[in-house]
Structure 1
Amino acid sequence: MIKPAFHFQRIVLLGALLLFAAFFLMPLYVMVATSLKGMDEIRDGTLLALPAAPSFAAWAQAWSSACTGTDCGGLRPFFVNSVLMVVPAVAVSTALGALNGYVLTQWRFRGSELLFALLLFGVFMPMQVVLLPMSQVLGWLGIANSIWGLILVHVLAGLPSTTLFFRNYYVGLPNELVKAAPLDGASFWQIFRRIVLPLSTPILVVTLIWQFTAIWNDFLYGVVFAGGDSRPVTVGLNNLANTSSAVKEYNVDMAAAMIAALPTLLIYIVAGKYFVRGLTAGAVKA
């Protein structure tokens, strides 16, 4: 039989959790509700009121016809730029991080600890420090103000974090699996592909979600290194919100913010539980 005191504690705990969840979800509710209202309803109604006649007109305008500065093509081109940038940047930085973690744990060499320490320094280095040297490098390579330049910047910026994730995860793998493989004739790449990678699913999911979120939501690199035709969705959203007009259309601004946030929201909704499992499986293990 459950004791009354224990039952009361559970009710208090659940109540507190629901209160915190409502507090954190309230901005999302306001954004969605406002984006589905017309401007007349926004002016005459209250902030928390449900839309009387929900409409996606503001979403359509934010996507295809809202002004982002002097251009009135909406967020669509910026969204496409972000997709073209994020997919290769996440794939390359994750693959290189997995390879680095594999080498630093299973194929240690002289100076490997020093190399890892230098890579780890990149995790804590402020992004502003690399703006000037990185812009010079992109200019020398001829990829400044392009999507390829942004891809390179995000790969280099994400490499310390992905290396840290995989290295700390691979430390916990049984060494016997890797040491026995060369005796059976397995090469460096065969061990990595057939033994290590199949065991890496938890940390692979963590890294993919982490990198996708960080790159998609980045604004600083996008506004500094991207040109007019290669700016990501975060820059487009900023331009849309700061574009002056006779009447401030809050519903369009909220719809644009939701469009920019949808990919990361969907990623966490679909793969959030795998993210938590991956962390508990060793992603943050010292």
Structure 2
Amino acid sequence: MSAVIQTSAMPIAIAKRPSRVLPRPARIGIYAFLFTAAAFFLLPLYVMLVTSVKPMEEIRLAHLFALPMKMTLEPWAQAWTSVCTGLQCEGIRGGFWNSVSIVVPSTIVSIFFGALNGYALSFWRPKYGNGLFLVLLMGAFVPYQVVMFPLVRAFASMSLFGTLPGIVLIHTIFGMPVMTLLFRNYYTTVPRELFMAARIDGGGFWRIFMQLMLPMSLPIIVVAVIMQVTGIWNDFILGLVFAGREHLPMTVQLNNVINTTTGERLYNVNMAATLLTSLVPLVIYLVSGRWFVRGIAAGAVKG
């Protein structure tokens, strides 16, 4: 018994924690690359931001990277309400609401018809469906400039040129191929047995689409919304050609702000107007970036 007790009372050796080693060269290289890439993309944003809150007296000192000694939001207010966009000096707020009125219906309509086309081409397999999909796929890679003049003539003959419905229709047409490709590739990952079970239960084309497929499509819908909103909001050439003077989007008015020279060039106002124009896509990416990654992982690029 004493031997057992003596044995059990023997001290237990505790393993020493290995000393912390220096990071491996590969890890150092990864962090160095990430830091360099972040600085490369964030440095212009930093310059724009600090310039937009500096008075012109500090900007004339040519200290590009220096923080403002006297911060002011007057350039932001001027860019929003009173900066000249050509002959009018009413700020870029009108362009903001024009962009909203263009983006919202264009995004909704193009995503709806893209989802409908992808659903039809994935499950119902219509006659000549592969040929139709090939045409839509080719349309995703056609440059705008190739079909610009025919579209101008066609829209002018239909009295749609220079109108809000016209520019919405243009963005819907150009967004349809990519949206169809996106949703078709997503729906090919959905088990066909689920669709067949809905057919056995008596579901028709529209009922299956509205009650089964659309509720399952939230990840890819988020991806589509991000792509369409940022693409349409950042568009310049289509808005310049088809929107007309009454519906110019924010990007076109920003170009008018930068190129309007009446006296001294106000760099702080130009930077503030640029940041206001890019604010919507920036917020969308920051807020919904996680959903975008989930949508891509859920099958957005499969098929």
SS at match of 1:54: coil
Choose from 268, 273, 280 the match for 1:256.
273
* Shift in Å, 1:11: 3.5
- Paired residue for 1:62? 79
Match of 1:127 in 2: 144
In structure 2, C-alpha distance between the alignment counterparts of 1:2 and 1:146, rounded to whole Å: 71
CA distance in 2 between partners of 1:4 and 1:141 (Å): 73
User: Which residue in the other structure is 1:208 paired with?
Assistant: 225
1:161 match: 178
TM-score by length of 1: 0.96
- Please give the alpha-carbon distance, in whole angstroms, between the structure 2 residues aligned to 1:41 and 1:146: 43
- Match status 1:118 vs 2:135: yes
Alpha-carbon contact 1:177-1:195 (below 8 Å) kept: no
Equivalent residue in structure 1 for 2:208, among 191, 194, 207? 191
Cα 1:275–1:2 shift into 2, 3 Å: farther
Opposite residue 130 of structure 2, the aligned amino acid is E
Deviation at 1:10, TM superposition (A): 2.5
Structure 2 partner of 1:181: 198
Structure 1 Cα separation of the partners of residues 79 and 191 of structure 2 = 52
Deviation digits for residues 41-77 of structure 1 (CA, Å, limit 9, x no counterpart): 1111411111122211101111110011111111011
Partner Cα distance (2:139, 2:252) in 1: 25
- Is 1:25 equivalent to 2:42 in the alignment? yes
Residue 247 of structure 2, aligned match among 230, 248, 251: 230
Give the CA deviation at 1:2: 8.7
Partner of 1:140: 157
Under a length normalisation based on structure 2, what TM-score does the superposition of the two structures give? Answer: 0.91
Structure number, greater radius of gyration:
2
Q: Which moved more, 1:104-113 or 1:43-52?
A: 43-52
Question: Tell me, what secondary structure is at the counterpart of 2:245?
Answer: coil
Which ranges of structure 2 fall in alignment gaps of 5 or more residues? 1-17
Residue 7 (structure 1) shift: 4.4
**Structure 1 residues 158 and 2: CA distance shift in structure 2, 3 A:** farther
Whether the 8 Å contact between 1:37 and 1:54 is mirrored in structure 2 is yes
CA distance in 2, matches of 1:2, 1:234: 57
Deviation digits for residues 76-125 of structure 1 (CA, Å, limit 9, x no counterpart): 11111000000000000001000000000011022000000000011110
Work out whether 1:92 is the aligned partner of 2:109. yes
One-letter amino acid matched to 2:59: I
